């Protein structure tokens, strides 16, 4: 079997999805009374999102709240809650333009993976909905079948994304330097470490800060959902 020559990596939130799945999962649990005091949970969720957008949030600080939510139910309860979440929040947000982008790479035989800071529990069903086999996400620790609220291993966040991608490729018997081209699609300046080491960085639905960087460096800018809306109008 020949090793793949091309690799396409996709951030998830605000890149393939027009929303933040981590934020929306926490909001969903708060609204449905599954995250303790709904008002306090929603307020903290807003604060964490603001700090993430400012680039001042650490993976450990995010995990304390986000992964702590996974300790609030048994495995079967969490699965049922996530099915509701997928139906109510995620499925309506699966946009044709994002699916077509993924399909474009897959049809050319490119190795594809989602690389996201959001935890594996929340994102695994979303990756499956996009038809992407490989998911590199922050792994929540489990003990005796229950989540502990802590991170297992290196979080898939900022420079940690490079570490996790390299670990994943190593497990496949591959290395980054074997690929002729590597694309990475992302909306966030938090992903600059990985964007800076691939051959084809694509600022996708970029935040103002990332758009400025992309324009200054001559990177491709892809307004994925804006293109979709223009096509509908």
What are the residue numbers of the active site? 11, 13
Alpha-carbon torsion, ordered 232, 103, 12, 199, to 10 deg: -110
Strands 111-119 and 200-204: what pairing?
unpaired
HSE at residue 34, side-chain half, CA atoms within 13 A, is 20
Angle at 11 between CA 8 and CA 13, to 5 degrees: 150
Give the separation between CA 186 and CA 202, rounded to whole angstroms: 7
Give the separation between CA 86 and CA 95, rounded to whole angstroms: 14
First to last CA, the chain: 45
């Amino acid at each position: 079997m020949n090793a793949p020559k091309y690799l396409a990596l996709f951030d998830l939130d605000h890149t393939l999805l027009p929303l933040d799945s981590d934020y929306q999962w926490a909001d969903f649990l708060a609204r449905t009374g599954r995250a303790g005091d709904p008002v306090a949970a929603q307020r903290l969720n807003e604060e964490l999102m603001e700090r993430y957008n400012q680039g001042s949030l650490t993976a450990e600080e995010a995990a304390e709240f986000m992964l702590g939510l996974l300790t609030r139910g048994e495995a079967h309860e969490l699965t049922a809650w996530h099915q509701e979440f997928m139906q109510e929040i995620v499925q309506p947000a699966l946009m044709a333009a994002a699916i077509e982008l993924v399909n474009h790479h897959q049809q050319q035989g490119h190795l594809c993976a989602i690389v996201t800071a959001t935890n594996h529990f929340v994102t695994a069903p979303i990756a499956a909905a996009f038809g992407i086999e490989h998911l590199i996400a922050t792994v929540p620790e489990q003990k005796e079948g229950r989540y502990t609220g802590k991170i297992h291993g290196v979080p898939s966040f900022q420079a940690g994304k490079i570490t996790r991608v390299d670990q994943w490729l190593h497990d496949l018997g591959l290395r980054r330097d074997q690929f002729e081209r590597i694309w990475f699609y992302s909306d966030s300046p938090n992903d600059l470490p990985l964007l800076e080491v691939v051959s084809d960085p694509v600022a996708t639905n970029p935040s103002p800060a990332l758009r400025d960087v992309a324009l200054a460096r001559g990177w491709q800018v892809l307004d994925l959902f804006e293109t979709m809306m223009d096509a509908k109008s």
